[in-house]
């Protein structure tokens, strides 16, 4: 997700300092980043580059190949066949099977829409997010080679849907490239609210500067203004976010962001419509930085996207199975 998109003001970049400091910071996250502590101890992929400026892709739309804008093939970007079991049809939902999550509803919100760049006027329309007004949506960002964030988010969402349905959950997507553009950020929140979702996760990838690496989970801050009142969901959303962060590290081996979140992989925001208007537990995850070549190599790999889907899904399962379940 580009930081200059709707509701995304750039946080101040933080200079990466790996080693004992990072482990100490991660330890403060109430067990949610146990996997990161292990990662920092044994080492992982090189991610020690200093941060660049948190700049967005102002020309993301022009670099998004129109021929691939509507494609949701999980193998796209790496040229390798994907696991058929991980690529269900693009239907909005499927009957839940029996399993530990039987009766639970999960809404997956794939950030942006492959068709947004064709509807610039519509997605620039202002909508009420409680605290103020923001643009309906953005095109999202791309890798330097043109792999679109909207394509990435749909692919991960499809993989998550399969994994969660296997656990018995009812899974709904806010969009599945089944509409020309959007939905707007306020409608994305309403979809989760109206579904009375037990958990909502919005999938994204960042558009920050070269050298800025890693994932971060965005948590709702306490907001009570206009149509927004997040006070009841702040606690459960943090629990959901911590569980996703810890499991994401374990599944992918990726480190928390080196440019925001202070090494914890967790960031609290009060300016995002998708969180402000939610009445059910909800978080965003920025899975990596599309504008860094090392992160982009992961994001464009079908095998890594499967790991990302597994990590996020494992965090959701842990959250839904209750406080006593392993993180």
DSSP 204-223: EEE---TT---BEEEEE---
In a domain, 290, yes or no: yes
Backbone angles phi, psi at 151, to 5 degrees: -70, -40
Position 98 scores a pLDDT of: 83
5 occurs within a structural domain: no
122 domain-assigned: yes
pLDDT tens-digit readout, 224-263: 999 999 999 999 999 999 999 999 999 999 999 999 999 9
Residue 75 pLDDT exceeds 70: no
**Rounded Cα gap, residues 272 and 221, in angstroms:** 10
Residue at 9 is within a domain: no
Distance CA 213, CA 167 (A): 32
- 193 by DSSP, 3-state: which? helix
Average the pLDDT over 197-212 and give the result: 98
pLDDT surpassing 90 at residue 72: no
pLDDT value, residue 324: 66
Report residue 97's pLDDT band, with 50, 70 and 90 as the boundaries.
low
The pLDDT of residue 16 is above 70: no
What is the number of other CB atoms lying within 10 angstroms of the CB of residue 41? 9
Q: Dihedrals φ, ψ of 316, to 5°?
A: -65, -45
Q: What is the mean pLDDT of residues 102-109?
A: 98
Write out pLDDT tens, residues 168-183. Answer: 999 999 999 999 999 9
Does 13 reside within a domain? Answer: no
pLDDT at 23: 38
Domain count, the chain: 1
The share of the chain scoring above pLDDT 70, in percent, equals 70
Confidence bin at 185 (pLDDT 50/70/90): very high
At residue 232, the pLDDT reads 98
pLDDT of 42 higher than 50: no
Across 142-181, b (16+ Cβ under 10 Å) vs e yields: bbeeebbbbbbbbbbbbbbbbbbbebebbbbbbbbbeeeb
Cα–Cα distance between 173 and 106 in angstroms, integer? Answer: 9
173 vs 14 pLDDT, higher one:
173
Preceding omega of 183 cis (within 30 degrees of 0): yes
Q: Report the range of poorest mean pLDDT among 26-35, 210-219, 269-278.
A: 26-35
Whole-number mean pLDDT of the chain?
A: 80
Measured over the CA atoms of residue 235, residue 314, residue 317 and residue 2, the dihedral's sign is positive
Span 49-66, mean pLDDT?
34
What tokens appear for 218 in the block? 């965005």
Residue 170 domain flag: yes
Residue 126 belongs to some domain of the structure: yes
The rounded distance, in Å, linking the Cα atoms of 127 and 171 is 26
- For residue 88, what are the domain limits? 20-73+83-320
- Greater model confidence, 50 or 130: 130
Cα distance between residue 228 and residue 250, in whole Å: 34
In the structure, what pLDDT confidence band is assigned to residue 322 with cuts at 50, 70 and 90? confident
- Pick from 110, 78, 68, 111: nearest CA to 297: 78
d(CA 70, CA 327): 36
The CATH number given to whatever domain includes residue 101 is 3.40.630.40
Tell which residue, 165, 212, 186, has the closest CA to residue 279: 186
Does the pLDDT of residue 2 top 80, yes or no? no
- CA dist 200 and 193 (Å) reads 9
Element (H, E) at 243: helix 234-252
> What confidence score (pLDDT) does residue 326 get?
72
**Does residue 15 fall inside a structural domain?**
no
């Amino acid at each position: 997700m580009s930081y200059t998109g709707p509701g995304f003001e750039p946080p101040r970049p933080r200079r990466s300092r790996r080693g004992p400091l990072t482990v100490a910071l991660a330890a403060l996250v109430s067990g949610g980043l146990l996997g990161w502590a292990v990662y920092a101890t044994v080492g992982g992929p090189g991610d020690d580059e200093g941060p660049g400026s948190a700049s967005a892709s102002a020309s993301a739309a022009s670099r998004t190949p129109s021929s691939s804008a509507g494609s949701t093939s999980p193998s796209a970007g790496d040229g390798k066949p994907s696991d058929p079991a991980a690529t269900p049809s693009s239907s909005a939902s499927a009957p839940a099977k029996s399993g530990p999550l039987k009766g639970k509803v999960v809404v997956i919100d794939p950030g942006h829409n492959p068709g947004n760049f064709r509807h610039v006027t519509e997605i620039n329309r202002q909508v009420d997010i409680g605290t103020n007004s923001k643009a309906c949506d953005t095109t999202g960002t791309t890798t330097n080679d043109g792999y679109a964030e909207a394509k990435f988010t749909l692919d991960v969402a499809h993989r998550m849907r399969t994994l969660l349905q296997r656990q018995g959950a009812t899974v709904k997507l806010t969009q599945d490239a089944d509409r020309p553009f959007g939905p707007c950020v306020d409608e994305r929140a309403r979809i989760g609210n109206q579904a009375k979702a037990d958990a909502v996760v919005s999938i994204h990838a960042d558009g920050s500067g070269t050298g800025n690496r890693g994932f971060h989970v965005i948590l709702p801050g306490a907001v009570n203004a206009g149509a927004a009142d997040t006070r009841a969901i702040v606690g459960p959303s943090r629990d959901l976010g911590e569980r996703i962060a810890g499991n994401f590290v374990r599944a992918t081996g990726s480190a928390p962001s080196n440019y925001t979140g202070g090494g914890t992989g967790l960031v609290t925001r009060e300016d995002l419509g998708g969180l402000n208007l939610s009445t059910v537990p909800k978080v965003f995850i920025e899975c990596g930085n599309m504008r860094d070549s090392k992160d982009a190599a992961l994001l464009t790999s079908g095998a890594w996207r499967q790991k990302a889907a597994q990590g996020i899904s494992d965090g959701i399962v842990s959250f839904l199975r209750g406080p006593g379940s392993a993180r």
